[in-house]
């Protein structure tokens, strides 16, 4: 459930979306994310990892969309993810969500009250997408001149390892470091025990072994605990910028086709061969990308404030 659309080779009528259809992502890192389909988006079908809901006359789909942006729903999703390391939601689980359903006229008031913030949110989202595109263009441009080849299996250039199993009972909000699992972009919680890593003098590049392919960069001096569903790489070669390498690894994994079926095992990661440009170019790209990321953080904060305004409308009228 993201901003990427793909063309289907074969279209089955039962999967064609209709105006007002509501989609829930059921597995992987996006589990719990939602999308309200409108005809204005063009003809579309939904994939197998999504669940389609159709509302009755007592529930407006636009109201349901607003509710799934509130902390009430998002907190429920996060709690479910915490106790399920590899979350897989289904229709029965979603039916446990406590959704307040006021009269339709009140629902419509909430929808109308939130509309005034839609343009602001759409503009911020557009700015975010443009920054993401700028970063991608910078990286792709630099990679066109990549001529230095490195094998990840070479121990003098890379340290590669995986974490150890962590059970739910070991997670503690008062822990001293974050725990990363298959979804390396979001820690599953904190832990009190010492990390399996001796030190954090070097940055780390994390990848998810199971589920959706994803990569994350963790800067030096930031302690963390990887589970057995999370791999880590420390770059030893000074001619490779670790933060730049994280993007190279992400792109390489996409090209190889790592996913839930084609697992990114430590053996498959070690077998990869990557190319990078001169270190000066890498450093320049990373410096520019960090500036873009600061802009992106500011935009995300503004988007969150807009969502909070919408939630305030929801709270005021749902009482």
The verdict on 140 and 283 lying in the same domain is yes
Joined together, the tokens standing for residue 109 give 């008031």
- Asked if 45 and 16 count as a contact pair (C-beta separation under 8 A), the reply is yes
Q: Decide if pLDDT at 155 tops 90.
A: yes
Among 100, 135, 170, which residue terminates a domain? 100
Report how far residue 140's alpha carbon sits from residue 134's, in angstroms, rounded to the nearest whole number: 10
Q: Decide if pLDDT at 234 tops 70.
A: yes
Q: Decide if pLDDT at 236 tops 60.
A: yes
Q: Decide if pLDDT at 90 tops 80.
A: no
**Average pLDDT, rounded, for the chain:** 91
The verdict on 29 and 70 lying in the same domain is yes
**Non-local CB neighbours of 292 within 8 Å, separated by 6+ positions:** 131, 134, 135
Kindly report, residue by residue over 97-136, the tens digit of the pLDDT: 888 999 999 999 999 999 989 889 999 999 999 999 999 9
The verdict on 178 and 251 lying in the same domain is yes
The verdict on 159 and 271 lying in the same domain is yes
Report how far residue 218's alpha carbon sits from residue 117's, in angstroms, rounded to the nearest whole number: 34
For the domain that residue 123 is a member of, what is the CATH number?
A: 1.10.287
Asked if residue 105 belongs to a domain, the reply is no
Which range has the top average pLDDT, 13-17, 68-72, 260-264, 290-294? 290-294
Q: Decide if pLDDT at 48 tops 90.
A: no
Range of the domain at 247: 148-276
Mean pLDDT (whole number) for 47-54? 85
Q: Decide if pLDDT at 83 tops 90.
A: no
Alpha-helical segments (H) within 164-278:
242-256, 266-270
Among 243, 259, 276, which residue terminates a domain? 276
Joined together, the tokens standing for residue 142 give 């630099």
Mean pLDDT (whole number) for 142-162? 97
The predicted structure's pLDDT at residue 82: 65
The verdict on 198 and 132 lying in the same domain is no
The predicted structure's pLDDT at residue 116: 87
The verdict on 12 and 81 lying in the same domain is yes
Model confidence band, residue 95 (pLDDT cutoffs 50, 70, 90): confident
Report how far residue 203's alpha carbon sits from residue 241's, in angstroms, rounded to the nearest whole number: 10
Mean pLDDT (whole number) for 16-42? 88
The helix/strand/coil state of 207 is: strand
Report how far residue 14's alpha carbon sits from residue 162's, in angstroms, rounded to the nearest whole number: 42
Residue in 88, 89, 87, 85 with CA at minimum distance from that of residue 226: 85
The verdict on 162 and 270 lying in the same domain is yes
Mean pLDDT (whole number) for 272-300? 97
Joined together, the tokens standing for residue 175 give 């822990």
Total domains in the chain come to 3
Share of the chain above pLDDT 90, in %: 70
The helix/strand/coil state of 138 is: helix
Q: Which DSSP letter does residue 194 get?
A: P
- Asked if 139 and 285 count as a contact pair (C-beta separation under 8 A), the reply is yes
For the domain that residue 221 is a member of, what is the CATH number?
A: 3.90.220.20
Asked if residue 106 belongs to a domain, the reply is no
The predicted structure's pLDDT at residue 85: 57
The verdict on 24 and 141 lying in the same domain is no
Q: Decide if pLDDT at 72 tops 60.
A: yes
Q: Which position has the token pair 């420390």?
A: 234
Report how far residue 172's alpha carbon sits from residue 188's, in angstroms, rounded to the nearest whole number: 10
Q: Is the dihedral of CA 71, 177, 200, 28 positive or negative?
A: negative
- Asked if 173 and 290 count as a contact pair (C-beta separation under 8 A), the reply is no
The predicted structure's pLDDT at residue 78: 81
Asked if residue 121 belongs to a domain, the reply is yes
The predicted structure's pLDDT at residue 279: 98
Q: Is the dihedral of CA 161, 167, 170, 174 positive or negative?
A: positive
Model confidence band, residue 169 (pLDDT cutoffs 50, 70, 90): confident
The verdict on 247 and 218 lying in the same domain is yes
Mean pLDDT (whole number) for 196-220? 94
The verdict on 272 and 177 lying in the same domain is yes
pTM over 0.85: no
The verdict on 236 and 319 lying in the same domain is no
The predicted structure's pLDDT at residue 305: 94
| Cross-strand pairs, 233 | 160, 205
The predicted structure's pLDDT at residue 308: 92
The verdict on 143 and 285 lying in the same domain is yes
Helix axes 118-143 and 279-318, enclosed angle (nearest 10): 160
The predicted structure's pLDDT at residue 319: 72
Q: Give the CA angle between residues 158, 159, 164 to the nearest 5°.
A: 150
């Amino acid at each position: 459930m993201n901003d990427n659309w793909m063309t289907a080779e074969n279209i089955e009528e039962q999967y064609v979306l209709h105006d007002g259809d509501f989609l829930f992502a059921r597995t992987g890192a996006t589990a719990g994310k939602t999308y309200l389909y409108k005809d204005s988006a063009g003809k579309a079908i939904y994939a197998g990892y999504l669940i389609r809901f159709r509302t009755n006359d007592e529930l407006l789909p636009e109201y349901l969309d607003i509710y799934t942006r509130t902390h009430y729903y998002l907190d429920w999703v996060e709690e479910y993810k915490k106790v399920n390391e590899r979350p897989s939601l289904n229709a029965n689980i979603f039916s446990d969500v406590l959704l307040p359903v006021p009269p339709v006229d009140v629902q419509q008031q909430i929808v109308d009250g939130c509309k005034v913030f839609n343009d602001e949110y759409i503009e911020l989202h557009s700015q975010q997408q443009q920054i993401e595109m700028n970063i991608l263009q910078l990286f792709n441009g630099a990679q066109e001149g990549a001529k230095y080849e490195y094998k990840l299996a070479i121990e003098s250039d890379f340290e590669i390892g995986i974490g150890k199993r962590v059970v739910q009972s070991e997670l503690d909000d008062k822990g001293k470091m974050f725990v990363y699992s298959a979804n390396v972009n979001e820690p599953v919680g904190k832990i009190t025990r010492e990390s399996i890593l001796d030190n954090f003098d070097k940055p780390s590049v994390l990848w998810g072994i199971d589920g959706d392919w994803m990569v994350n960069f963790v800067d030096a001096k930031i302690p963390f605990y990887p589970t057995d569903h999370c791999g880590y790489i420390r770059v030893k070669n000074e001619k490779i910028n670790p933060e730049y390498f994280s993007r190279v690894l992400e792109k390489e994994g996409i090209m190889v086709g790592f996913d839930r079926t084609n697992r990114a095992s430590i053996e498959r990661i070690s077998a990869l061969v990557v190319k990078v440009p001169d270190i000066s170019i890498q450093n320049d790209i990373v410096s520019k990308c960090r500036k873009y990321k600061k802009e992106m953080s500011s935009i995300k904060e503004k988007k969150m404030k807009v969502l909070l305004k919408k939630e305030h409308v929801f709270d005021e009228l749902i009482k």
